[in-house]
Amino acid sequence: MANKELLAELLNQAYEVELAYVAELTDEEKSQEGAVDDWSPKDALAHVAHWKSSRTTEIQAVLQGGESRQIEDFDHENAEIFQKYCDKSWEEILAFAEESQQALARQLAAMSEQELELDFTEGRPIWRVVVGNGYSHPLIHVAGYYQAKGDMQRAGDLTAMLAEPLMRLDDSPTWQGTSRYNLACSYALMGKKEEALAELRQALALTPSIKEWSQQDPDLESIRGEAGYQALYED
């Protein structure tokens, strides 16, 4: 069963990372204009805040006996989100980010651990929606920012946060495998090849469904030339 206290802790940790990221942005980065296929820092912050807000609303609907919204094309959805917020000011987006964070935190606090186990969609419990949109999603985007700037150490540190803390939430093979895969990506970004290969080997054994993506994931680029990596895909 999901640990409500741990979920709340993770949400707070991720938001602290977001705030630290925002504090480091230059005035030029804050005022940068993005494109639908090339987001600025403001666009990325709005994107993360939107998903926190919209998923909070959908969780409320599910708890009241309704259904979550089915999304068939996330690329199209994210393009619409970009258009919705791209003309708003940095101050408006920053306020929206705070508002969406607090709304998700309040929703989590109001739920029982039994409610967190209720089905959100296709067998995915509500708690995974909370941690996915309130923790993993923000960290992925901040890590991507540091990776684009060439700061692989910080990108790797954030990717590690997507693994070890999350493993404590669920002991199912799929969840454990996905968490170990994120840890493999973290090690690969930091240049720790042996550790990356060891975690990737376990991840593929636990969650074979991620094998196809792992062969194209840019986070694993540093280990593709390793014999140990190639051996994982010989079959």
168 and 91 both lie in a single domain: no
- 229 contacts: CB under 8 Å, gap ≥ 6: 197, 200, 220, 223
- For residues 153 and 33, the answer to whether their CB atoms sit within 8 Å is no
Nearest 5°: phi and psi at 230? -60, -35
pLDDT at 160: 82
d(CA 81, CA 62): 22
Residue at 114: amino acid letter: Q
The radius of gyration of the chain from alpha carbons, rounded to an integer in Å, stands at 18
Give the position of tokens 């959805």.
77
94 and 202 both lie in a single domain: no
107 and 26 both lie in a single domain: yes
Last residue of a domain, one of 127, 149, 171: 149
83 and 70 both lie in a single domain: yes
112 and 33 both lie in a single domain: yes
Q: How far is CA 126 from the centre of its chain?
A: 15
Give the position of tokens 């969780």.
59
76 and 145 both lie in a single domain: yes
How many other C-beta atoms are found inside a 10 Å radius of the C-beta of residue 109? 10
143 and 161 both lie in a single domain: no
Instruction: List the CATH number of the domain containing 140.
Output: 1.20.120.450
226 and 167 both lie in a single domain: yes
pLDDT at 40: 96
123 and 79 both lie in a single domain: yes
DSSP 226: S
Segment-wise mean pLDDT, segments of 10 residues, the chain, 235 residues? 86 97 96 94 96 96 89 87 96 98 98 94 89 92 90 86 86 89 84 92 93 88 93 85
172 φ/ψ sector (left φ>0, alpha ψ -120 to 50, else beta): beta
DSSP 117: T
DSSP alpha helices (H): ranges in 2-89? 4-24, 27-31, 41-63, 74-85
184 and 133 both lie in a single domain: no
136 and 215 both lie in a single domain: no
Q: What is the β-pairing status of strands 119-121 and 124-125?
A: antiparallel
Give the position of tokens 């946060």.
161
Q: The pTM is what?
A: 0.85
Domains in the chain: how many in total?
A: 2
138 and 53 both lie in a single domain: yes
d(CA 211, CA 200): 10
pLDDT at 16: 97
- Domain span at 132: 1-149
